[in-house]
Amino acid sequence: MQLYLAVTPGEAREAAQYGRTLAHVAYRIGSGSTLLRQNLNLQTQGGLLSVSDREAPPIGDPDALCAAVLRECGRRSYTGALLDFEEPLQQDRLEFARRLGQALSAGQRTLYLPERYAQAAGNSAVVLVCTAISGGSLSQRLQEAADAHGGASRLALDVQRLRMDFHLPARSGEGEPLDEEQFRQLMERESPPVFFSQELCARYFTYTRNGELHFVLFDDADTISQKLRTGAGIGFSAAFLMWPEVKDIMGKLGSKN
């Protein structure tokens, strides 16, 4: 399984020491269907181009934007592109994704896109499947995704590190995200016994505060490693990790150096 670390330009040097391929989170969609780039090191070569649609205007000319992505891939020897799309699904983004996947494939490059854009993948793109689940079975979730999208080899893991606090009963399945400092303080205050969920492939603990029961689900190096092994065992082709989420445990996840 190919492992990618998603990094901003300022993080690339630190992350590169682990010998993993980098997805450069340095691009966004600008007005007039342009591709905007942060200040990348002139020597940046290889890896993936990662483009965001956060607060982006409509894509009026998808072919022009595709051409800009292809030029940048050629200039920096990128092997493909990652659509780091967070906005709700929109038709202009969907059409851009479809055309970009075809264009990259024609040049022997790969497009990686979110699962909600799977209809644009065709036979030319790889669909990202999020591993951060709060119910059910991770292995079943991944197998169902493989069955739905034409096989595991056309899928990649989107490994989002869990740190989630649920107020029970959590009927909506939604919890409150905890940042690193909030999680550390909670662990220090509660000193809870920690358990492992084989189904969710995550650790958890419970605590009571102000008469309310809480359930906290979280990942560490061991659970993320197991998620990677689960995906690889099913046949997933790649996995993506966000560098800020794993930099404290990357040494335990293994280095290619």
Query: pLDDT tens digits, residue range 233-251?
Result: 999 999 999 999 999 999 9
The answer to whether residues 155 and 125 touch, using CB atoms and an 8 Å cutoff, is no
Q: What pLDDT score does 255 carry?
A: 63
Give the pLDDT band of residue 171 (cuts 50, 70, 90). Answer: low
Closest to 115 in 3D by CA, of 92, 80, 146, 78? 146
Residue ranges per domain, the chain? 2-161+220-253, 164-216
Q: What pLDDT score does 168 carry?
A: 82
Q: What pLDDT score does 122 carry?
A: 85
Q: What pLDDT score does 175 carry?
A: 87
Interatomic CA distance for residues 222 and 211, integer angstroms: 32
What are the tens digits of pLDDT across the range 180-212?
A: 999 999 999 999 999 999 999 999 999 999 889
pLDDT at 257 over 60: no
| CATH (residue range 2-161+220-253) | 3.20.20.80
> Hey, do 2-161+220-253 and 164-216 end up sharing a CATH topology, with the first three levels equal?
no
For residue 73 the two structure tokens come to 């891939």
The answer to whether residues 50 and 6 touch, using CB atoms and an 8 Å cutoff, is yes
List, in sequence order, the alpha helices (H) in 50-122.
Answer: 62-76, 91-106
Interatomic CA distance for residues 194 and 241, integer angstroms: 24
What are the tens digits of pLDDT across the range 73-85?
A: 999 999 999 999 9
pLDDT at 157 over 90: yes
Q: What pLDDT score does 169 carry?
A: 78
- Percent of the chain at pLDDT > 70 equals 97
Compute the residue count for the chain.
257
CA 61, 115, 79, 56 torsion: positive or negative? Answer: positive
Mean pLDDT of the chain: 94
Interatomic CA distance for residues 51 and 204, integer angstroms: 34
Burial of 106 (0-12, 13-18, 19+ CB in 10 A): exposed
* HSE toward the beta carbon, residue 104, CA cutoff 13 A: 32
pLDDT at 254 over 80: no
Q: State mean pLDDT over 153-164.
A: 96
Q: What pLDDT score does 137 carry?
A: 97
pLDDT at 256 over 80: no
Helix, coil or strand: residue 194: coil
End-to-end CA distance of the chain: 16
Domain over 164-216 is classified CATH 3.10.50.10: yes
